[in-house]
């Protein structure tokens, strides 16, 4: 995708965002509350339930695009998210507030809203813009490993690693997070004897050589 002209829309660089919600929605269709809330201590990826995975998948989008990039992307605060405080100060670990967003349909509604917001940004900004805007990335133990999934737009230095990230890499990171947690949802279904419903794109963090791809 590096050969895309910088004058092209960001949506030409990331067309996969358009179909992402339907992919996720299909995977969790028809699941009961018991199936949504299944957890296990047998694997690290099963410590979060499908419901938790979905909530994180929704929450991470505004936390990146509005909280970290808000001054750049929405200087007038016109991001259309009225309850941003409940996301940034959620008592639920890296998720939407469980007390407010517990029902699957409510989580999916928010996920769809935030993905539409992401698609709107990609349609409104060109590739050159995405590649020229940079934020500092805070230090995390996982970031050095995760940065290896990005072919451009990322710097990672030190141990634990910190560095910088372009807006282009931020969108790639969001997509990689979504498909990796979608892969986790499929594993949680398999652990309950359920069949996966979609083909998870074989890109991103879950495809790294050192990623835990253990199966039930």
What pLDDT score was predicted for residue 95?
A: 96
Confidence of residue 10 (pLDDT cuts 50, 70, 90): very high
Instruction: Provide, rounded to the nearest whole percent, the portion of the chain with pLDDT above 70.
Output: 98
Residue 59 lies in a domain: yes
Share of the chain above pLDDT 90, in %: 86
Q: pLDDT band for 142, please (50, 70, 90 cuts).
A: confident
Q: Which of 124, 121, 156, 122 is nearest to 139 (CA)?
A: 156
Other residues' Cβ atoms within 10 Å of the Cβ of residue 95: 22
pLDDT at 137 over 90: no
Residue 144 has pLDDT above 90, yes or no: no
Q: What is the DSSP string of 123-173?
A: HHSBHHHHHH-EEEEEEETTHHHHHTT-SSSB--BTTTEEEEEEHHHHHHH
Query: What would the pLDDT profile of 116-132 be if each residue is shown by its tens digit?
Result: 999 999 999 999 999 99
pLDDT tens track for 105-114 = 999 999 999 9
| SS3 of the chain: helix, strand, coil, percent, to 5 | 50, 10, 40
Distance separating alpha carbons of residues 117 and 8, to the nearest angstrom: 19
pLDDT band of residue 2 (cuts 50, 70, 90) is low
- Indicate whether 209 belongs to any domain: no
**Residue 3 pLDDT:** 84
- DSSP type of residue 31: -
Is residue 207, in this structure, part of any structural domain at all? no
- Phi, psi angles (nearest 5°) of residue 139: -70, 130
The pLDDT of 189-213, averaged and rounded, is 97
Let me know if residue 149 belongs to a domain. no
Which residue, 131, 163, 129, 130, is CA-closest to 146? Answer: 163
Query: Is the residue at 45 inside a domain?
Result: yes
Instruction: Give residue-wise pLDDT tens across range 26-63.
Output: 999 999 999 999 999 999 999 999 999 999 999 999 99
Structural domain contains residue 66: yes
The CATH number linked to 80 is 1.20.120
> What's the rounded Cα separation, in Å, for the pair 188 and 49?
7
Task: Assess if residue 155 is contained within a domain.
Answer: no
143, part of any domain: no
Which pLDDT belongs to residue 161? 65
**Dihedral (Cα; 150, 179, 114, 31), 10-degree rounding:** -170
Domain span including residue 175: 10-133+166-202
Q: Using 50, 70 and 90 to split pLDDT, how confident is the model at 90?
A: very high
Q: How many structural domains is the chain composed of? A: 1
Q: What pLDDT, on a 0 to 100 scale, did the predictor assign at position 120?
A: 98
pLDDT band at 93 (very low <50, low <70, confident <90, very high): very high
Mean pLDDT, all residues of the chain: 95
| Cβ-proximal residues to 76 (8 Å cutoff; 6+ apart), any chain | none
> Can you give the three-state secondary structure of 58-91, one letter per residue?
HHHHHHHHHHHCHHHHCCCCCCCCCCHHHHHCCC
């Amino acid at each position: 995708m590096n050969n895309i002209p910088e004058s092209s829309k960001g949506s030409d660089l990331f067309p996969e965002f358009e179909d992402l919600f339907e992919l996720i929605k299909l995977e969790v269709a028809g699941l009961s509350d018991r199936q949504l809330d299944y957890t296990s201590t047998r694997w690290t990826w099963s410590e979060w339930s499908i419901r938790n995975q979905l909530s994180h998948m929704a929450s991470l989008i505004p936390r990146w695009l509005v909280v970290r990039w808000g001054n750049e992307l929405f200087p007038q605060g016109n991001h259309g998210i009225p309850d941003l405080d409940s996301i940034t100060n959620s008592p639920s670990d890296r998720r939407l507030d469980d007390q407010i967003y517990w029902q699957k349909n409510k989580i999916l509604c928010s996920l769809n809203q935030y993905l539409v917001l992401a698609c709107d940004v990609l349609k409104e900004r060109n590739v050159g813009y995405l590649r020229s805007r940079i934020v500092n990335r805070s230090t995390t133990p996982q970031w050095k490993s995760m940065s290896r999934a990005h072919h451009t737009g990322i710097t990672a230095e030190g141990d634990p690693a910190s560095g910088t990230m372009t807006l282009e890499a931020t969108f790639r990171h969001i997509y990689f997070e979504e498909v990796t947690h979608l892969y986790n949802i499929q594993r949680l279904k398999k652990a309950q004897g359920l069949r996966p419903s979609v083909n998870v794109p074989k890109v991103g963090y879950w495809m790294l050589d050192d990623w835990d791809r253990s199966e039930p």
